Structure 1
Amino acid sequence: MFKPLLAAGLMLASPAIADVTPFKTPSGNIECYIGTGPNSADLSCTIFQFSGTPNVPRPASCGSGWGHNYVILERGPVQMECRGPGRPNTAPGVDVAPYGVSATWGGISCLSETTGLRCQNADGHGFHLSRRVLQVW
């Protein structure tokens, strides 16, 4: 979904109804799936390697895998999942979100920067993910 953005330099239009599209940062360290439906969008992102600590405490029920997986809906707070990072999607054709490029799907917007990936929803909840920073607000 970022390819047209790179070529045209314009804001990205929403994908088709009931579409799920993967994209990753240029470093390949962050990978996301954006899902859109008739009434809402959701975004799930995984960071594979990091040295920072999430600003959200790990629940007692989470033994490992904390800090790798983030989910954001058009409304409401960011949800963090207690599971490991899995493996990067190596399938050909996964869009790369070039640094300095933003995209919006429904009420979710993301900006790819050299300092990480920043995403926010219509309620103002969001996250900033990078190797050194794992911030949720």
Structure 2
Amino acid sequence: MHRLAVLFCLGGLAAPAAADVFPFKTPSGNIQCYVGVGDSSDIDCTIWDRAGPPAAPKPASCRGPWGHRVQMAERGPVSLICGAPGPRNTAPGVEVAPYGQTGRWGGISCSSTPQGLDCRNGSGHGFRLSRASQQVW
């Protein structure tokens, strides 16, 4: 079993010694995230296929696509990233986050459900990504 699967299934009980990055995706493959763990944790998620308006209005400074990528640290607000989603990581090491499971990495937790991916941090900020809608708080 890969380390991310252990972290996801066991709620992050394993503590890495140095900064590591773990990719995971939802069972549909529409959402993929990279979790960085070490002295502090962060997460960067991309949703490829989405409907409806983005989670926040597109800023004037963004000249590219908007609403496909979010970043969050274990404390502080969520950031939406300007630009097109990159290619999907189809490498065999990308773990699938099973529906009904919650992963915890430092101050970040994410729950995978058939309705989407919900992630929160220790300061109460978070995001929800699904094909139907996207939200940040």
What's the TM-score once normalised by structure 1's chain length? 0.91
Report how many residues are paired: 134
Cα distance in 2, alignment partners of residues 26 and 5 from structure 1: 17
Cα distance in 1, alignment partners of residues 21 and 121 from structure 2: 18
- Shift in Å, 1:52: 2.0
Structure 1 alignment gaps of length 5 or more: none
Query: 2:6: which partner in 1?
Result: 4
Q: How does 1:37-76 map to 2 (within 5 A)?
A: 37-38=38-39, 40-76=40-76
Q: Any conservation in 2 of the 1:30–1:48 contact (CA below 8 Å)?
A: yes
Q: How does 1:11-26 map to 2 (within 5 A)?
A: 11-16=11-16, 17-26=18-27
Q: Any conservation in 2 of the 1:42–1:71 contact (CA below 8 Å)?
A: yes
Q: Structure 1 residues 15 and 86 mapped into 2: Cα distance closer, same or farther (>3 Å)? A: farther
Structural RMSD (CA): 1.5
Tell me the secondary structure at the aligned position of residue 35 of structure 1.
Answer: strand
Tell me the secondary structure at the aligned position of residue 66 of structure 1.
Answer: coil
Query: 2:28: which partner in 1?
Result: 27
Structure 2 letter corresponding to 1:3: A
What's the TM-score once normalised by structure 2's chain length? 0.91
Structure 2 letter corresponding to 1:25: T
Identity %: 54
- Shift in Å, 1:56: 0.9
Q: Structure 1 residues 122 and 5 mapped into 2: Cα distance closer, same or farther (>3 Å)? A: closer
Structure 2 residue 118 is the aligned partner of structure 1 residue 88:
no
